[in-house]
Amino acid sequence: MRTTYAVGVDVGGTRIAVGLVERKGRMLKEVRSLTPRDAGPFAIVDAIIDLISEVIAGVHPSEIAGIGMGLPAQIDFLKQTVEFCTNLPLAGVDMRSLIMSRVRYSVTIDNDGNCAGIGESRFGAAKGVRDFVMITLGTGVGGALFLDGEPYRGSRGLAAEIGHMVIRLDGPPCPCGGQGHIESYLGRPAIAAAGRDAAAGYSGRAIREQAGGDAERITAEDVVKAALAGDDEARRILLEAGDVLGEALVGVVNLLNPRLIVVGGGIGESCGFMVERAAEVIDERALAGRRDVRVVQAELGNDAGVLGAAALAFDEHDSREGLHR
């Protein structure tokens, strides 16, 4: 039986979003809350359950295909287990079983970058494109690789961790414990730190003003707001981030020769000039014959992960039922 709705859950380092989604990608209802990241895994599960309960209120259970959930973690997709999680205390936590013990629906988990990529592939910037790369810039840096129209997950479902590619051997520490990773430069904490450094001098006064005059409270969003308001120092920070993004993507382009690169996440979607800088770097430095790759911003905004997770739930339901997309 073809069900009408699926629930998509997008768990981020900052916020959790849950939506009730139709098969064609129309979001009927969406709710969000802050991620209780410092309260432990059970508090995160409680927050997810509360949001799920809110979006499915009044919907008959037979109409719901299941729940898809994107996590900012390395997921063994075959085993449906969380192997490693940098920005939330979820490593080794059986999130699938914890959620399923409190709802009556099947739950499928995947990496949040894969879910965002599925969303953009089905309903957004990558619709109709068979080979593309997705990179998400948020609290952490995630990614997804699509080959022949399907996400490539690798031998254990751990592929496409673009945020943990090494770009500088002597670079700053990464939250994962490594050094010089892309996330060390492009995650929210890194951009916020650059903003705080700038705010120590006169040139960073506009960034400081975005945080109410308190340099210690500066966030990545404050840097973005100052840049979009025309502040030169904030733009410099984000253009340098664009250089790093472009350098990293040169390697991806040379290795994979994708047709398209989609840049999403809160930072990527709000900074078009940063994405343009990355595209310029690729055009300058990628091997000849590969420079026609398009680099675009995601179209679905903050909904990409929710829509992709819901699509994942529909796919898993239809596979169990012997149905085809």
pLDDT digits (tens, 9 = 90+) for 30-72: 999 999 988 899 999 999 999 999 999 999 999 999 999 999 8
**Three-state SS across the chain?**
CCCCEEEEEEECCCEEEEEEEECCCCEEEEEEEECCCCCCHHHHHHHHHHHHHHHHCCCCHHHEEEEEEEECCEEECCCCEEEECCCCCCCCCCHHHHHHCCCCCCEEEEEHHHHHHHHHHHHCCCCCCCCEEEEEECCCEEEEEEECCEECCCCCCCCCCHHHCECCCCCCECCCCCECECHHHHCHHHHHHHHHHHHCCHHHHHHHHHCCCCHHHCCHHHHHHHHHCCCHHHHHHHHHHHHHHHHHHHHHHHHHCCCEEEEEHHHHHHCHHHHHHHHHHHHHHCCCCCCCCEEEECCCHHHHHHHHHHHHHHHHHHHHHCCCC
Model pTM?
A: 0.88
The domain covering 129-299 belongs, at the CATH homologous superfamily level, to ATPase, nucleotide binding domain (3.30.420.40)
Looking at residue 134, its pLDDT comes to 95
For 119-157, the pLDDT digits (tens) are: 999 999 999 999 999 999 988 898 899 999 999 988 877
Amino acid letter at 68?
A: G
For 166-216, the pLDDT digits (tens) are: 999 998 998 888 999 999 999 999 999 999 999 988 888 999 999 999 989
Mean pLDDT estimate for the chain: 91
| Residues 47/35, Cβ–Cβ less than 8 Å | yes
| Residues 85/48, Cβ–Cβ less than 8 Å | no
Looking at residue 122, its pLDDT comes to 95
**Confidence bin at 324 (pLDDT 50/70/90):** low
Mean pLDDT computed over 83-105: 90
Looking at residue 182, its pLDDT comes to 93
**Confidence bin at 3 (pLDDT 50/70/90):** confident
Question: Regarding the domain delimited by 5-119+302-321, which CATH topology (the fold level of the hierarchy) does it fall under?
Answer: Nucleotidyltransferase; domain 5 (3.30.420)
Task: CATH 3.30.420.40 in the chain: give the residue spans.
Answer: 5-119+302-321, 129-299
For 245-276, the pLDDT digits (tens) are: 999 999 999 999 999 999 998 888 888 999 99
Which tokens in the block code for residue 171? 């670079």
Nearest to 311 by CA among 75, 132, 149: 149
Is 323 a residue whose pLDDT tops 80? Answer: no
Q: In this prediction, what percent of the chain has a pLDDT beyond 70? A: 98
For 77-86, the pLDDT digits (tens) are: 888 989 888 8
**Confidence bin at 1 (pLDDT 50/70/90):** low
